[in-house]
Amino acid sequence: MTLETPLSSLKGVGPRRAADLDRVGLRTVGDLLARFPLHYEDRARFREIASLQPGEAVTVTGTVASCGTRLTRRPGFKLFEAVIRDATGTIRAVWLNQPFMASVMLRGRDVILFGQAEPRPAGGLQLTNPQYEAAGTGEQDYIHTGRIVPVYEKAGCVTGRLQRALVHDVLAQLPLDRSEFLPAWLREELRLPDWCTAVAGTHFPVEDASVDTLNAFRAPAQVRLIFEEFLLFQVGLGLRRRAADADRKPVVPAVDDRIRAAARAVLPFALTAGQRQAVKDVVDDMVRPQPMQRLLQGDVGAGKTIVALLAAVVAIENGLQVAFMAPTEILAEQHFLTIRRLLGRSGYDVGLLTGSSAAADRRVVLRHLASGQMQLVVGTHALVQQDVAFARLGLVVIDEQHRFGVMQRAVLREKGWRPDVLVMTATPIPRTLALTAYGDLDVSVIRDLPPGRTPIRTTARPQARRDEAHRFVREQLEAGRQACIVYPLVEESAKIDLRAATEMADHLAEEVFPDYRLALLHGRLRAEEKDRIMRAFAAGEIHVLVSTTVIEVGIDVSNATVMVVEHAERFGLAQLHQLRGRVGRGTHESFCLLLYQEPLGEQGEARLRALVETADGFAIAERDLDLRGPGDFFGTRQSGMPTLRSGDLVRDRDIMEDARRYATAALDREPAGSALFAEARRSWSDRFGLASVG
Ligand code: ADP
Ligand code: MG
């Protein structure tokens, strides 16, 4: 048996079990060992039966005094009962519908049971469905009781108990001699046990281990495995960075007084401190010989566009071309108008290229890009993916999409282009996730907002008070403003939700706002239809936009001042913050009304309160990560995030920080042929499911 042995070849794992294990990503022996228990239970201390109190979780050992199957009054319901006796007394154990217990609980057999002691109506105590194990004679290696026991998550028909037995079997059979790839200096410094000790101790903890430490996942055995996983990931990132550092741009921009003057000429306002620092970071990158790989984070409205435009001026003044990519066509058009206005005086040739550009326009743009005459083009990400040829592409700006940054950079590389790349995102990403999802990017953050913003007023109300919200919307409409009403679509029941959203839109149109124009926008509409609706809303022809979350990366409509979010309890905090950012873009005071379904629960309440009380997207993002975990944080599984087996980005963020530091040290200290590097390369493709390190 090796770590690569498929689980399906293990004794006791038939096709059905193998399929269920596969579904949760467990294919090989290595996968099985890398998956941590959910938690640990101390079943090591045997209790005297006479001393048991109701409500305690206890381990007892004794002899089966009597046993048998009993029918109950409910048809089809069978009980198996056993009476266990030790030197101090007896206790009854009951298993519901587990007829095979008759072959385990044999009269006269010594057994160990673990479970919760409950009072019986007739007096005395009972264990219902306890964990059980035959007690051996002398020194026996207990699996399910009589020790600190790992508890695994059920995988389909594979119970936690079965997994425990499998892991135990595997550990007994596997030659535990995997060669060590962690450098010795590192293991010594961190006092990490070797891999074999770590794996064994993670699943079947040593006798004197502390259950509390284990349940905090900070036992040395566990830390070794988590650290190892994170380190391999961070070393991979480092190797990738190194490869990128070896890249050279065909033209390295320079900055002189003429260019500074050109930049000043496009500036319509004084930059905030955050913007100034971001511009400095970006320009410092641009004048280096290696292509820039920078992420610019800043809350909605922080003013990222001007930072990108100043970078564009530097590129253009150095004779280079700029591609500015937006996630949707409408956003591209909006950017195009803004950019053309700001760059108007500079006399640059600025173009727009989207799927709906007329064929003749398209031909002109393509020709001018190929000849180098056009200096800046705005479009969707199809810009760099399709057959668009640039004469001298020097800077690519990717706006508002943390989800695709990594992939698009890969596309650029494949095309043999080495432009500077600036990825901009309005989704504040907590530091740990940034280290992971964007670990190979340099990061600039704009934390301040331009002066003179009126904060959006946020309130949370139970949906029973929806009428109030609608009255408020009406007041705003009467004052000439526009409103958005957002409905969540939850994937599993998208159809039902969509029906609910449609019904709500009809109801609003006919009964609540009959004198205003209203439209429903949802993800199933054709792109042109969505586009048409968004345009009409932006033009003020639609007063109330009812939508699913598709407006999340929507457009700026400065006249929209109210955002009503239905079922706010279903949205992630970061997502709600994004949604809220869609209003408050003009001079009028703006409002966000969160309607929630009761009961909200303690955590739900804490989440909405966080949103009502803070306007800082980063604080909200950290909170969201704490409350919901990284998977939910990004909504869907996103490219660029590794598949982690042992570590947890939230629980183990301190270990990720360590791994980051030690990865940097290892890249400096270890020779090129280091086993660590080889393992990191292998892991990146085999284990994390990411593109190769390169
Ligand atoms: P985002 O970071 O969300 O992309 P934008 O770049 O669209 O933000 O800027 C939001 C608005 O703030 C724009 O109307 C922009 O002109 C304005 N703005 C940006 N920076 C400043 C500043 N330093 N002073 C005043 N207004 C600014
Ligand atoms: Mg923007």
Which tens digits make up the pLDDT trace of 529-560? 888 888 899 899 999 999 886 655 556 788 99
Structure confidence at residue 286 (pLDDT): 97
Residue 293 Cα to ligand 2 midpoint, Å, equals 19
Residue 330 Cα to ligand 1 midpoint, Å, equals 18
Residue 538 Cα to ligand 2 midpoint, Å, equals 16
- C-alpha 283/C-alpha 266 separation (Å) is 16
Q: Of 231-235, 454-458, 658-662, where does mean pLDDT reach its minimum?
A: 454-458
Residue 684 Cα to ligand 2 midpoint, Å, equals 33
- C-alpha 576/C-alpha 173 separation (Å) is 51
Mean pLDDT of the chain: 86
Residue 576 Cα to ligand 2 midpoint, Å, equals 17
Ligand 1 pocket member 301 (CB < 6 A): yes
Helix (H/G/I), strand (E/B), else coil: 114: strand
Which residue among 264, 305, 338, 340 is best mutated to probe the pocket of ligand 1, counting the most ligand atoms within 8 A of its Cβ? 305
- C-alpha 223/C-alpha 466 separation (Å) is 49
Ligand 1 pocket member 306 (CB < 6 A): yes
Structure confidence at residue 638 (pLDDT): 42
- C-alpha 482/C-alpha 544 separation (Å) is 6
E-state strands within 366-516: 376-380, 393-399, 420-425, 442-446, 457-462, 482-486
Ligand 1 pocket member 580 (CB < 6 A): no
Place 691 in a pLDDT band, splitting at 50, 70 and 90: low
Ligand 1: residue whose CA is nearest its atom 4: 304
Ligand 1: residue whose CA is nearest its atom 24: 450
Ligand 1: residue whose CA is nearest its atom 13: 303
- C-alpha 291/C-alpha 417 separation (Å) is 10
Question: Residue range 467-494: average pLDDT?
Answer: 86
The atom number, within ligand 1, closest to the CA of 452 reads 25
| Per-residue buried b or exposed e for 139-177, using 16+ beta carbons within 10 Å of the residue's own CB | eeebbbbbbbbbebeebeebebbbbbebbbbbbeebeee
Q: Whole-angstrom distance between the N-terminal and C-terminal Cα of the chain?
A: 32
Cβ pair 37, 143 in contact under 8 A: no
Ligand 1 pocket member 450 (CB < 6 A): yes
Considering the entire predicted model, what is its pTM? 0.71
The DSSP symbol for 548 reads: S
Task: Please check the confidence at residue 516 and state whether its pLDDT lies above 60.
Answer: yes
Ligand nearest to the CA of 401: 2
Express each pLDDT in 623-673 by its tens digit. 777 776 655 444 434 444 566 788 887 788 889 889 999 999 999 999 988
Residue 434 Cα to ligand 2 midpoint, Å, equals 19
- Mark out the alpha helices in 398-517 (DSSP H runs): 405-414, 431-437, 466-478, 494-507
Structure confidence at residue 244 (pLDDT): 78
Place 138 in a pLDDT band, splitting at 50, 70 and 90: low
Express each pLDDT in 332-382 by its tens digit. 888 898 899 888 788 899 999 988 788 888 999 999 999 999 999 999 877
